[in-house]
Amino acid sequence: MFEPDGFNLRWIAHRGGGDAAPENTLAAFHAGYAAGFRAFECDVRLSADGVPFLLHDATLARTTDARGAAAGRRWADLRKLDAGAWYGARFRGEALASLDAVLDFAAARRVWLNLELKPAPGAAARTGVVVATRVTRWLREQPRVPAPLLSSFSPRALRAARGALAQRQTQLPLALLCAHYDARVLRSACALGASALHLHWRALSAARARTIHDAGLALRVYTVNRAPTATRLLAAGVEGMFTDRLDLPPRVNA
């Protein structure tokens, strides 16, 4: 086990527990925590009746025992699905996690969350508002827990989240996610009032890292699973890395 370095967010468990457990489940978060991680990323979408829950894909087939679009089902139905058997027999019966369950996990352990907004088509604004509103209420109930970060590939979802936070006089950091990088990406992040850019690691160079930092933004990269890559990225100045490999941190000299 490695010793977490406070909340500097250098090491972030991807989808809760990386490749150690079925993604975006409570089992994944427990695996990440047991490995020493204190910062976690997960994907949040809305059910048909507006309940925020964890799922990466728009459809259910890859990581549950159901098929079809997730957005068309109510939470009462979604919560009955098996989200663990696809990964391995010992996780059979593991349920989809609600956002509330993950917030409870974070409150009990005082860990940091990166909640990635994954809106269904046409639901970007609604997703941003619902998640920001729920997290605001939770933070008022749990003032000693680190404030989560909201990230998304969807600028519209982030704008809606920012508006909901402003209405409730709450501040949460925002991050724009991008698979590529150019000057428009940087302008968009700044216009959103984001505190960070989250990029695919292959899109990063030392020069780009300097440009992003000069604009006042933090820089985190996904998904880093090899020690030489991690060492190089840390030398370039990235603040954090999302990883599937829970054994990676102690193998990186940085």
Task: List the structure tokens of 211.
Answer: 């440009």
Question: In whole angstroms, what is the distance from residue 72 CA to residue 68 CA?
Answer: 8
The answer to whether the beta carbons of residues 67 and 57 sit under 8 Å apart is: no
Residues 14, 30, 180, 200: which is the catalytic one?
A: 14
The answer to whether the beta carbons of residues 250 and 3 sit under 8 Å apart is no
Classify residue 88 as exposed, middle or buried by CB count within 10 Å of its CB (0-12, 13-18, 19+).
exposed
Residue 82 CB neighbour total at 10 angstroms: 17
**Residue 121 structure tokens:** 């088509």
Distances from the Cα of 104 to the Cα of 112, 179, 212, angstroms: 12, 31, 34
Please list, in sequence order, all residues whose beta carbon lies within 8 angstroms of the beta carbon of residue 17, skipping any fewer than 6 positions away: 23, 27, 28, 29, 30, 31, 32, 35, 246
Which one of the listed residues 30, 56, 200, 213 is annotated catalytic? 56
- Report helix angle 124-141 to 155-167, nearest 10: 40
For residue 104 the two structure tokens come to 């409870």
* Active site annotation includes 56: yes
How far is Cα 237 from Cα 223, in angstroms, rounded to an integer?
16
Q: Indicate the DSSP class of residue 55.
A: -
- The residues annotated as belonging to the active site are 14, 56
